[in-house]
């Protein structure tokens, strides 16, 4: 049994974490032993290792905030989930481990016949994309949405969910090599960020959308990229920021704020979990699970690694040339 543990935090995330062996734990009343099937490495996980995320667990800690596992042993008094059942791991359990212990009552059964790699990512990125499309601006089929960091995990889900809802997407990326893969994945428009050939992003967006009014912009980058999104929005538009990949504060020119009346909102899924009713959470996740189970929703996978290769996995996940998610798997 192995766990990816870190006892310190530092600027190079792969340097602070390592795979450590541990003995099979003894189960208490109501507990089950789980075998990890798949657990993704998210940007928030990398920021947790560097100490830059908003919530930091006490040290030492096991990495990983989401994933899926299989029940392999019952403790005293446990009647379910059944042995062999695929389950959704509780948020923050420390999913980067071959095995873990959890209270049986905290586990959500998932369909056994569905790709565990795709199921492993349902806790963070899909609901983030879904809620940002629905909670801030009233959108109708045919409306346009613009997002940067469009090739990210959230960005990929947003493209798919928007298409299922009849929305159109402008997707801003950092390099030309991402254009064709995103178009193949269903993006309507894909543009490289910044000024190209003397044309600003806003002018190129206007040309690509025939001057459509864009009411919603999704920002994961911050810095000057926020301002470029603001320039593309119509009067009264809204920017929803959920990340700062640039490491810089969001910048928005007074002329955009004043004359275009642009609103900037923030989204943090952890806060949504604290305020959403159980019924609302069940509705959101039930919809996502259904879409994944029927093959209508998926995310691109760049590479998979075993827990023993955690340092290499983190190195790749923290790099800038990925074409999808990095996921830890059992096999």
**Domains annotated on the chain, with CATH:** 2-121+299-329 (3.90.180.10), 125-270 (3.40.50.720)
Spans of the chain, pLDDT less than 50: none
- pLDDT of res. 278: 83
- Give residue 61's pLDDT: 97
pTM of the entire structure? 0.85
Q: Which of 6, 53, 157, 242 is catalytic?
A: 53
pLDDT of residue 92: 87
| pLDDT (0 to 100) of residue 289 | 92
Would you call 53 a catalytic residue per the annotation?
A: yes
pLDDT at 299: 86
The pLDDT of residue 53 is: 83
Q: Which pairs count as long-range contacts for 293-298, CB under 8 Å and 24+ apart, including other chains?
A: 293/111, 293/114, 296/160, 296/164, 297/126, 297/157, 297/160, 297/161, 297/164, 298/115, 298/118, 298/160
Q: What is the pLDDT of residue 251?
A: 95
């Amino acid at each position: 049994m192995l766990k990816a543990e870190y006892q310190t935090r530092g600027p190079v995330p792969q340097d602070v974490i390592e795979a450590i062996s541990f003995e099979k734990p003894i189960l208490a009343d109501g507990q089950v032993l789980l075998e990890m099937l798949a657990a993704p490495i998210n940007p928030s996980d990398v920021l947790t290792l560097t100490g830059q995320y908003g919530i930091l667990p006490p040290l030492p800690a096991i990495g990983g905030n989401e994933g899926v596992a299989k029940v392999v042993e019952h403790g005293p008094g446990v009647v379910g989930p059944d042995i062999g059942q695929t389950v959704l791991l509780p948020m923050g359990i420390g999913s980067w481990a071959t095995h873990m212990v959890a209270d049986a009552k905290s586990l959500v059964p998932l369909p056994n016949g569905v790709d565990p790699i795709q199921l492993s990512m349902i806790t963070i990125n899909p609901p983030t994309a879904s809620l940002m499309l629905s909670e801030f601006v009233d959108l109708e089929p045919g409306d346009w949405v613009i997002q940067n960091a469009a090739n990210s995990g959230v960005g990929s889900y947003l493209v798919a969910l928007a298409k299922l809802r009849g929305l159109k997407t402008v997707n801003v990326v950092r390099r030309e090599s991402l254009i064709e893969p995103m178009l193949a994945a269903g993006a309507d428009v894909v543009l490289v960020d910044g000024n190209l050939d003397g044309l600003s992003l806003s002018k190129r967006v206007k040309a690509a959308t025939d001057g459509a009014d864009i009411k919603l912009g999704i920002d994961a980058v911050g810095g000057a990229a926020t301002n470029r999104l603001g320039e593309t929005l119509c009067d009264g538009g809204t920017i929803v920021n959920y990340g700062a990949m640039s490491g810089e504060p969001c910048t928005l020119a007074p002329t955009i704020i004043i004359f275009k009346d642009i609103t900037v909102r923030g989204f943090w899924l952890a806060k949504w979990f604290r305020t959403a009713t159980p019924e609302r959470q069940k509705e959101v996740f039930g919809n996502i699970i259904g879409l994944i189970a029927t093959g209508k929703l998926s995310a691109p996978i760049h590479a998979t690694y075993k827990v023993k290769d955690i340092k290499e996995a983190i190195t790749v996940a923290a790099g800038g040339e990925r074409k999808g998610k990095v996921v830890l798997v059992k096999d």
